[in-house]
Amino acid sequence: METFHLQILTAEGTVYDGPALSLTCRTICGDVSILARHCDYCTAVGEGRVSVRFADGTKASGSCAGGILAVFGGECRLLAGECRIAS
């Protein structure tokens, strides 16, 4: 499966910066999953669960609250008010 570059950032610092197979998180319109080659996209992030499947196939999940999710040029950035992920 193809990967894409994912950054998960908060005001406190970088939560994750590297390749990913998928990102799933809660937006203000419902849950969304991002895969490689996703169309350009921007939305506000709601409060809820977030999960990442890494390039090696392992998965981590946690919670996220507020922020912006943007996909542009094949890269994905989640700029979150709060985000905690545990593998």
Q: What is the pLDDT of residues 36-85, one digit of tens each?
A: 999 999 999 999 999 999 999 999 999 999 999 999 999 999 999 999 99
Residue 4's SS3 state is: strand
14: pLDDT strictly greater than 70: yes
pTM: 0.94
Confidence band of 87 (pLDDT split at 50, 70, 90): low
Q: Which fold has domain 4-86?
A: ATP Synthase; domain 1 (2.60.15)
Query: In whole angstroms, how large is the CA radius of gyration of the chain?
Result: 11
DSSP string, 20-85: EEEEEEEETTEEEEEETTPPPEEEEEEEEEEEEEETTS-EEEEEEEEEEEEEETTEEEEEEEEEEE
